[in-house]
Structure formats: structure tokens, C-alpha cells
Amino acid sequence: MKLPHRIKYTDKVRQGEARLFTISINPAKRGDIGLYTHEYEHIKQWYLCLVVGLACAVGFYLFTHNDIASLLIAAVSVSLKGILYSYVKPFRKWAEVKAFRAQIKVTEGEYVDFFANALANDYKLGITYNQAVKLLYR
Ligand SMILES: [Zn+2]
């Protein structure tokens, strides 16, 4: 079962991207199951962060009965994945490795160089090509 999400085709993205519950795919990449799988993995990560954030909001409320602060935590949980992805390098590394591994699974090992190069160079992770290969194919 797929988690609810929407797909939009736009040339505003070079290949694909996932924000909140929306996957944006460049029309030239329509039908690229590997790219879709990569972006859908980010959708799953967004839901995970949302659930964790909402659980924290409920837990915070149960312990403090501070409704305003609890609502703020709940509101932030919608953007939690984006915040972590943008500012926490280990989270971004975890998210991309998971997404590329899912992509590799459906592309059956093709594009090894492309994925490793992308992971090493496009996400500001500070890792080499060889480190990327180890992360993706161990
Ligand atoms: Zn990604």
C-alpha cells in the first residue's frame, strides 16, 4: 500500500524532488520508475518525521498541558523532514542513501556510477565517490 501523495509534472525541477507529500517530476522523466521510487522514499521519510513530530507534540502536551507550545510542535512536525534535511547533514545522508538504495533496487543495479557520483557531489555530504559506493552497495 502506498502512502497518500500526489505527483506533479513540471519543468521547474531538473529531475525530481519531494516536498511534503508532493513529488515533482520533470516531464522529460515521466515514467522513470527509478526516479519515482527515489522520490517516494522521501515521501515515506516525510510521513515518518510527521508521525514522530506529532507524537512529540502529544507527549509534550500530556506532560506540560501547554497547549500553545504543543500546537507549535505539531505545526513544526509538518516541516520537520525539510528542516532536518536542510540543516542536519547526517539526516540528509541517511535520507539520500535510503532513497538511492530504493532506486537501485528497481533499476536492478544499473547506473552505479551515476548514483554514486550524485550522492558524492550533489548533496553537500562531504563524501567521496568511493565512500558513496560503499554506502550504496554494502
Ligand atoms: Zn533524494
Enumerate residues 6+ apart whose C-beta is below 8 A from 112.
Answer: 104, 133, 136, 137
Q: Is the pLDDT of residue 138 over 80?
A: no
If you measure from the C-alpha of residue 38 to the centroid of ligand 1, how many angstroms do you get, rounded to a whole number? 6
82, burial (CB in 10 Å: exposed 0-12, middle 13-18, buried 19+): middle
Determine the pLDDT at residue 111.
Answer: 81
If you measure from the C-alpha of residue 85 to the centroid of ligand 1, how many angstroms do you get, rounded to a whole number? 10
Amino acid (1-letter code) at residue 41? E
If you measure from the C-alpha of residue 67 to the centroid of ligand 1, how many angstroms do you get, rounded to a whole number? 35
The count of C-alpha atoms lying within 13 angstroms of the C-alpha of 25, restricted to the half-sphere facing its C-beta, is 18
Q: Where are the domains of the chain?
A: 6-137
Q: What is the pLDDT of residues 51-79, one digit of tens each?
A: 999 999 999 999 999 999 999 999 999 99
Q: CA-to-CA distance for 20 and 80, rounded, in angstroms?
A: 10
CB atoms < 10 A from the CB of 62, how many? 9
If you measure from the C-alpha of residue 74 to the centroid of ligand 1, how many angstroms do you get, rounded to a whole number? 25
If you measure from the C-alpha of residue 32 to the centroid of ligand 1, how many angstroms do you get, rounded to a whole number? 14
Q: CA-to-CA distance for 32 and 55, rounded, in angstroms?
A: 35
pTM of the shown model: 0.93
Q: CB–CB of 123/96 below 8 Å?
A: yes
Q: Is the pLDDT of residue 112 over 90?
A: no
